[in-house]
Amino acid sequence: MHEDSDERKLRKKGQTEMKHRILSLYLNPWIKKVSTVESELLFVDGFAGPGRYPDGSRGSPLIAMDMADKMLSGTYGIDERLNSFDCIFVEYNPENFDKLQKSVREKEKKIDDRINPKCIPGKFEKWATAFIDNHRYKSPPPSLIFIDPFGYGNIPFELISDLYQLRDQSLELLITFMAGKMAQWMGDPSHQKAITAALGTNEWQNLVTPDLGKDERAEQFSSFYQHQLKHEADAKFTMPFEMVEETKRQVCYYLIHVTNHWQGLKVMKETMFNAGAEDEFAYLGPDHTGYEEEQMSFAEFGETDDFEKRIADFADDLYSRYKGEEIVFQNLLEQTLDKNVFKITHYRDALRILENDGKLEVGHRPHMENGNKSRGYGRDDILKFVNMSLESFI
């Protein structure tokens, strides 16, 4: 196995480009939205690396600093709202850390002085434990914490859970979850212990069975991890983006976003959708079934050739789930938005299909902030899924 500072390990791959694209695209709306609530923000990169790749391209620390600088200098209102954008970059490998410090110092000279980077040598687990201890009785600032390890063995689930629960809102995680490696090594007793620590329980051994294919096992690991985040760490929403290793065409890992705010989910989902629309190597597989029984099927991110059929199938899924029920559109979004790959505009396309088929009636509520007067589907409007079965007419 290569050392963390080995250029063969650090060489930038297609999945990394996609991962950094998602991070960069999400930082913009995250800063814009959260700065309306608080003026001091925090970005943490728990596995920062050397700052730059061997080919000279930026790593995640420099991407974050550049995005904050771009917004402070060019986005209306941010300059007045944002007092500080603190960055913590944690790196364990000494050689990488020296390179990181150099890269960050060079970048710091060129950016807004409200961006405050700090490089910390050592393991992410040590930093996270200290951070949790320091904020048990005082919430940290709104934070986006990027956890991007090469492996999975040293990040116990309990640590992730304690870290996430430091704030009820405005603390979000973006986790590289190495499901592919788990699927590959799950039969090795020495790896089983590490997998159990990462998932917080050994229940996975009853769910992820050797008879499944490798990609299916990886998917089950990802789904179970998200189940744990919701049920044990009190996360409200999770959204996974599957990364496929280009040469082997196998699942490498999942980039999982964790948030308690549906707006954060909405924006990240749109980010992932737009990022996945042009890249064949990064998507959620079309056969995704999910861990929870009520989870609707995932399909490929992006507007593929069969997208109209996928929207029609999505309409059928919604109708099957809510037939005979009434629900506020906002509540429907909060129940389902992290269980498929469709954006809100696609929801409205699906609802239009159902309304045209007589399967949906809309109660408009113009007196509500997000209610429509007579047409369309406002988030405060009531959706009535008409029961079209013969039994309902008897």
| 234, 255, 276 - which closes a domain | 276
* CATH code of residue 373: 1.10.10
Beta-strand relationship, 171-177 and 115-121? unpaired
111 and 171 assigned to the same domain: yes
Quickly count: other Cβ atoms within 10 Å of residue 97's Cβ.
22
* 299 found inside a domain: no
Q: Are residues 44 and 113 in the same domain?
A: yes
The predicted model gives 81-91 an average pLDDT of: 97
Taking only the tens place, the pLDDT of each residue in 201-246 is 999 999 999 999 998 999 999 999 999 999 999 999 999 988 877 6
- CATH for 104: 3.40.50.150
Helix (H, G, I), strand (E, B) or coil at 144: strand
Q: What is each CA distance from 332 to 20, 299, 322, 357, in whole angstroms? A: 31, 19, 9, 20
CA distances from 234 to 138, 169, 255, 261 (A): 19, 11, 19, 12
Last residue of a domain, one of 276, 297, 332: 276
Residue 293 lies in a domain: no
Residue 237 sits in the same domain as residue 333 = no
Q: Which of 200, 150, 196, 202 is nearest to 177 (CA)?
A: 150
Provide the number of structural domains found in the chain. 2
Determine, yes or no, domain membership for 150. yes
Domain membership of residue 223 (yes or no) is yes
Confidence band for 7, pLDDT divided at 50, 70 and 90: very low
Say if residue 268 is in the same domain as residue 352.
no
- Statement to judge: residues 268 and 326 lie in one domain: no
- For residue 352, being part of any structural domain is answered with yes
Has residue 290 been placed in a domain? Answer: no
285 belongs to a structural domain: no
Going by pLDDT thresholds of 50, 70 and 90, the confidence category of residue 393 is: very low
What crossing angle do the helices spanning 189-199 and 214-231 adopt, rounded to 10°?
A: 40
Q: What is the pLDDT of residues 134-192, one digit of tens each?
A: 998 899 999 999 999 977 767 999 999 999 999 998 999 999 999 999 999 999 998 99
Q: Within a domain: residue 61?
A: yes
Please give the average per-residue pLDDT across 109-121, as a whole number: 97
Q: Is residue 245 located within the same domain as residue 336?
A: no
| Spatial CA neighbour of 43 closest among 25, 63, 58 | 63
**344: containing domain:** 307-393
